[in-house]
Amino acid sequence: MQVLGIESSCDETGVALVRTRAVGTPELRAHALHSQIAMHQAYGGVVPELASRDHIRRVLPLTRQVLDEAGATLADVDVVAFTRGPGLAGALLVGAGVACALAAALGKPVLGVHHLEGHLLSPFLSADPPEFPFVALLVSGGHTQLMRVDAVGQYTLLGESIDDAAGEAFDKSAKLMGLGYPGGPALSRLAITGRADAFALPRPLLHSGDLDFSFAGLKTAVLTQHRKLGDAPTPAQLADLAASTQAAIVEVLVKKSIAALKATGLRRLVVSGGVGANAELRRQLDAAALKRGWRVHYPELALCTDNGAMIALAAAMRLQAGAGQASMDHAFDVRPR
């Protein structure tokens, strides 16, 4: 079975083709991605209307590119999958509309996929795929969640952010420091030369005894520190603030992940979502795991942020596991929230 997957929830258009195998994880045959980052940069963030229009421009050429790279044609596609949500409504509608139109024209079924399930399962495409069960730390621009994952479709929420997501904390802190969008990669680059203990920043809910997160207060604390630096902070001061901010976010993510592994008794952690690309987070999680004999799995770096491969993969894994059914009803809806 071959699944064509389309991702268009935010500022990346992603298309991919995966093929299921008799045993094991489906194989990624080809994937293509167009990032809109350069387009939104001038506005300091994603402009929803521009995002939708660009998805319209990119999605069919990317589909063509993926099929060509795989040496396949539309006739080889058995199921068309798309991101149903969460995300920007207009952006989601582009992917959903194209997926359902293609499927209707081909007489093939469609399957809407939860964006976070795509992130969650993306490490299965890595050279070192995890085994069930595991704890998942999902850290994206919109979500911060810890889950217990027993099988495809069997997810138990252990804790989540009660306000901002970890990626949002990176992005908002970076923005107020004048680092532009997207802030996570920019802030973590600047942090390399800074001192992580230069500024005392809060670690919200670190000792709350549960597995929830809160990052809204951190952003305010960063703003206060940044104001104290005056109108013209030196590069060294900014680097220190970046390193201190990253340290605060990463410490909470690492400590809560450890707490989740201890609470569940599981010995495997899967990290996914855009913030999973953060080198300092990876370094600290790896060190913590090494000490305790745990394993940590990450997606390939290129598949940490949004992409079509994870959507095609999640659909294929659901179908293979009998945890989802593709539908011949091509009337579609999206779930922005």
Question: Residue 194 binds which entry of Zn ion, ligand KG4, none, with Cβ cut-offs from 5 to 8 Å by kind?
Answer: none
What type of residue sits at position 147?
Answer: M
Binding segment for ligand KG4 (CB under 6 A), chosen from 105-113, 164-172, 193-201, 213-221, is: 164-172
Residues at the site binding Zn ion, with contacts judged by CB under 5 A: 140, 306
Q: Per rule CB under 6 A, is residue 3 in the interface with ligand KG4?
A: no
Whether the CB-CB separation of 35 and 58 falls below 8 Å is answered with no
Whether the CB-CB separation of 33 and 307 falls below 8 Å is answered with yes
Take residue 66 and report the two structure tokens written for it: 């993926």
Take residue 26 and report the two structure tokens written for it: 């489906």
Furthest C-alpha separation in the chain:
63
For residue 172, what are the contacts with CB-CB under 8 A and spacing of at least 6? 164, 183, 219
Touching ligand KG4, residues 126-155 (CB under 6 A): 140-142
Q: How far is the CB of 59 from ligand KG4 (least distance, A)?
A: 18
By beta-carbon proximity to ligand KG4, the closer residue of 25 and 36 is 36
Q: What is the rounded distance in angstroms from the CA atom of residue 332 to the CA atom of residue 93?
A: 9
Q: How far is the CB of 246 from ligand KG4 (least distance, A)?
A: 8
Q: What is the rounded distance in angstroms from the CA atom of residue 280 to the CA atom of residue 291?
A: 17
Does the annotation flag 139 for ligand binding?
yes
Whether the CB-CB separation of 193 and 139 falls below 8 Å is answered with no
Which helix or strand (DSSP H or E) is residue 291 part of?
Answer: helix 279-292
Q: Per rule CB under 6 A, is residue 13 in the interface with ligand KG4?
A: no
Q: How far is the CB of 142 from ligand KG4 (least distance, A)?
A: 5
Q: How far is the CB of 272 from ligand KG4 (least distance, A)?
A: 8
Q: How far is the CB of 75 from Zn ion (least distance, A)?
A: 31
Q: How far is the CB of 144 from ligand KG4 (least distance, A)?
A: 10
By beta-carbon proximity to ligand KG4, the closer residue of 76 and 286 is 286
Does the annotation flag 143 for ligand binding?
no
Does the annotation flag 31 for ligand binding?
no
Each residue 270-309 as x (binds ligand KG4 by CB under 6 A) or -, in order, gives: ---xxx-xx--------------------------xx---
Q: Per rule CB under 6 A, is residue 248 in the interface with ligand KG4?
A: no
By beta-carbon proximity to Zn ion, the closer residue of 115 and 268 is 115
By beta-carbon proximity to Zn ion, the closer residue of 19 and 282 is 282
Question: Residue 184 binds which entry of ligand KG4, Zn ion, none, with Cβ cut-offs from 5 to 8 Å by kind?
Answer: ligand KG4
Does the annotation flag 171 for ligand binding?
yes
Touching ligand KG4, residues 178-237 (CB under 6 A): 182-185, 188
Does the annotation flag 159 for ligand binding?
no
Instruction: Please state the residue numbers annotated as binding site.
Output: 115, 119, 138-142, 171, 184, 278, 306
**Which positions touch ligand KG4 (CB under 6 A)?**
10, 119, 140-142, 167, 170-171, 182-185, 188, 273-275, 277-278, 305-306
Instruction: Please state the residue numbers annotated as binding site for substrate.
Output: 138-142, 171, 184, 278
Instruction: Please state the residue numbers annotated as binding site for Fe cation.
Output: 115, 119, 306
